[in-house]
Amino acid sequence: MALFSLARSHKAARVLPGFNITLGFTLTYLSLIVLIPLSALIFKTFTLTWDQFVEAVTGPRVMASYRLTFGASLIAALVNVVFGLLVAWVLVRYNFFGKKVIDALVDLPFALPTAVAGISLTALLAGNGWVGQYLEPLGIQLAFNPNGVVIALIFIGLPFVVRTVQPVLEDAEKELEEAATCLGATRWQTFSRVIFPSIAPALLTGFAMAFARAIGEYGSVIFIAGNMPMVSEITPLIIIGKLEQYDYAGATAVAVVMLVISFVLLLVINALQAWQRRHTGAPA
Amino acid sequence: MSATTINPSVRRAQAGTTEPAWVRYSLIGLALTFMFFFLVLPLAAVFTEALRKGLEAYWDALQEPDAWSAIRLTFITALVAVPLNLVFGIAAAWAIAKYEFRGKAFLTTLVDLPFSVSPVVAGLIYVLMFGAQGWFGPWLQAHDIKIIFAVPGIVLATVFVTFPFIARELIPLMQAQGNDEEQAAIVLGATGWQTFWYVTLPNIKWGLIYGVILCNARAMGEFGAVSVVSGHIRGQTNTMPLHVEILYNEYQSVAAFAVASLLALLALVTLVLKSFVEWRHARELNAAAELPPERPHA
């Protein structure tokens, strides 16, 4: 009986026409644009022996680029967690002049082409730039070294944390905070024991998204990094370098490593988002 | 008089859910300082650097034939990539949001995949497919078709990096709206196309425009993926972001920032349109929520 009603409801869902054509088109387009080209990457690596593959992805210059890419992405994502939470909090909880403009401006890193962000940040932070000229006498160099990579990645990742935390903060129930205060909690206790746990999943999702984006980022970083081998050369630039030397197999090997990492991160983000939905009780 | 008597009690009631004034102001100040250094200054720097040698130098830089061909190519690329991804986005959202089928979650993950692939890898995969040493390289060469280091490669790479933008906006929107209205239309005798055009499309209109705006901004601004497949041939395969890079590397700072300022303007227009769409969408939702159910809007 249950099976029968299940079958019927299944059939009822297909009252709408167009399932075959839309799914067919989706799968064809997905295969042509994404899946087949990505499989070309995997097949190309099979032209390498295992030893050649390992050599290509663990050379000293490549290893240094992993350290820089992952280290800078981690620092930038952590900075974004702190300041992203701060910006989201201020935008949701307080009123001040120009709030709407600031809110819209948060998305600037999504809208501004990365190359523009790159040359602009470089112009600001170089020794003669608006900001750089005050930092240089203090012995602080933010452009043309790994610091610049971190700065560019903070810029790129900022909207991710703000935009994942903001809606959760907006939906947070004030009653819980009132209850905490009535029960004698200080404001800080209310924040750390009541508010923070409810936004933690969103914060973690935003962190993972900012981190994933930072690892693959190319356009904004290459202008400000200085691109010195072993010091300030990011992994995507290693791929470009190998391509320019017609080392297609080597470029592909490094690209496969990056692809696997981004796929794992994508699965982690999906799991985090599912957790967040369960946490907030919102419909999937 | 009454204000002074009410205020203290209001303040006490709010004390449970807000912070003392000095905390509030220092948090606002800290957030605004961060935003100023990381968002406002870079944006302002683009325009001041572009105008560093005056308006005339700025106009001259924009009237370069190479700059013009870069602008043209950028628009052509967006004009092809955005409609393609729009059709895909609608088809994918319809299939994923309106039906239950096996592997749906996995399909949704695959649609998101281009978001997390590095732009450089996105460019590389097309080189491996269509480049001189790629899968189809020899065949393409024999038939004198150029994809890599030519416009088709730039369009393909752009399509890849902007692939999920519109689908991503539409899927949750269509899922939230459910199938009831469409089923009613079909039962009343509408064709599938009529149902989509008169029932679904008005419901998803703002989400669709939102997705198109974001997709277009990324399509026009993409750098990494396009850089790999372009070959940087001046006047032929340079988009605006690539042209910015070339000028910058040639130490033509004013010219580089002049072209960059056009892209920054595009970003500002994108943000304004985006805010407008969000505002209109919220207003329509509110209007619909306030509508009495027994007396629907004519």
Nearest-neighbour CA in chain B from A175: distance (Å): 9
> Which token pair is B54?
């005056």
- In order, the DSSP letters of A176-190 are HHHHHHHTT--HHHH
Q: Cβ(B30)–Cβ(A86) under 8 Å?
A: yes
pLDDT tens per residue across span B104-153: 988 998 998 998 899 999 999 999 999 888 888 888 988 988 888 999 99
Per-residue model confidence (pLDDT) at position B3: 44
The pLDDT assigned to A107 comes to: 93
Whether A182 sits inside 8 A of B101 (CB atoms) is no
Report the chain A residue with the minimal C-alpha distance to residue B108: A270
Beta-carbon contacts of residue A103 (< 8 Å; ≥ 6 apart): A91, B275
Residues of B in contact with A93 (CB under 8 A): 18
Cα–Cα distance, A247 to B133 (Å, whole number): 11
Select the residue of B17, B159, B266 nearest A174 (Cβ to Cβ). B17
Using the Cβ of B201 and the Cβ atoms of chain A, whether some distance falls under 8 Å is answered with: no
What pLDDT is stored for residue A1 in this prediction? 38
Q: What are the tens digits of pLDDT across the range B145-175?
A: 888 899 999 999 999 999 999 999 999 999 9
Residue B1 pLDDT more than 70?
Answer: no
Confidence category of residue B21, pLDDT binned at 50, 70, 90: confident
**CB pairs below 8 Å between A and B: how many?**
292
- Return the DSSP state at A147: H
Helix, strand, coil shares, percent, chain A, to 5: 80, 0, 20
Mean pLDDT of chain B: 88
Q: What is the pLDDT of residue B15?
A: 55
Arithmetic mean of pLDDT, B270-292 = 87
Other beta carbons within 10 angstroms of residue A190's beta carbon come to 20
Q: Which tens digit of pLDDT belongs to each residue from B51-64?
A: 999 899 899 888 98
pLDDT tens per residue across span A115-174: 999 999 999 998 888 988 898 888 888 888 999 999 999 999 999 999 999 999 988 888
> Cα separation of B20 and B100, whole Å?
51
Output the six-digit token pair for B155: 């369009």
Could you give the count of Cα atoms lying within 13 Å of B74 in the half-sphere of its Cβ? 28
B160–A34 CB contact, under 8 Å: yes
Task: Provide the pLDDT for residue A174.
Answer: 81
The DSSP output letter for A31 is I
Residue A14: DSSP 8-state: G
Report the C-alpha gap between B210 and B253 in whole angstroms: 34
Query: A44: Cβ–Cβ under 8 A, 6 or more apart, which residues?
Result: A248, A249, A252, B128
> Are B241 and A94 a contacting pair at CB < 8 A?
no
Q: Which pLDDT score, from 0 to 100, does residue B2 have?
A: 43
> What residues in chain A have per-residue pLDDT under 50?
1-13, 283-284
pLDDT at B296: 55
Closest CB from B94, B110, B176 relative to A22: B94
| Residue A269: per-residue pLDDT | 87
Cβ–Cβ gap A86/B88 under 8 Å: no
CB-CB neighbours of B280 under 10 Å: 13
ipTM summary value: 0.87
The model scores a pTM over 0.95: no
pLDDT class of B16 with cuts at 50, 70, 90: low
- In chain A, which among 210-249 make CB contacts under 8 A with chain B? 212-213, 215-219, 223, 236-237, 239-240, 243, 248
The minimal CB distance from B248 to the residues A34, A109, A119 is found for A119
Q: Does B57 touch chain A (CB under 8 A)?
A: no
Convert the pLDDT of each residue in B180-216 to its tens digit.
Answer: 899 999 999 888 899 999 999 998 999 999 999 999 9
Task: Read off the tokens for B257.
Answer: 């920032």
